[in-house]
């Protein structure tokens, strides 16, 4: 078994190791997950737009936050899928359900993002 990456690390060393692990995870997701690449590309446009279109800090936070939440949930969904596949590639109803629930979480986050953007931007068009 691999030793825990934070064992015997404290303070700055622990933070640096956590940053390395996070960066490694995002790189792996970018390399292997087309949905993560698509969502990542989308937030590169949406986050700057959020700061341009938001009238105040709350609107900017809602617009940017809802956009940034999508790849966060995608990463969690991917982690679930990888974990299920690590346990067994054999078809099983619980495995399917776990993966479907992760996918549903991504869908709900996309809906949330759309609702936030529409709620803030549509009144301006009326």
CA 60 to chain CA centroid, Å, is 19
Q: Is the CA virtual torsion 34, 40, 41, 46 positive or negative?
A: positive
90 included as an active-site residue: no
Residue among 33, 39, 74, 90 flagged as catalytic: 74
Q: Which residues are catalytic?
A: 74
């Amino acid at each position: 078994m691999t030793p825990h990456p934070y064992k015997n690390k404290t303070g700055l060393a622990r933070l640096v190791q956590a940053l390395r692990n996070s960066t490694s995870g995002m790189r792996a997701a970018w390399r292997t997950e087309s949905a993560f690449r698509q969502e990542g590309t989308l937030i590169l446009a949406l986050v700057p737009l959020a700061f341009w279109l938001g009238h105040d800090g709350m609107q900017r936070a809602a617009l940017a936050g809802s956009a940034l939440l999508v790849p966060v949930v995608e990463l969690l969904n991917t982690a679930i899928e990888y974990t299920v596949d690590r346990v067994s590639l054999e078809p099983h109803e619980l495995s399917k359900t776990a993966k479907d629930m992760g996918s549903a979480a991504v869908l709900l986050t996309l809906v949330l993002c759309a609702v936030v953007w529409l709620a803030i931007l549509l009144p301006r068009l009326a």
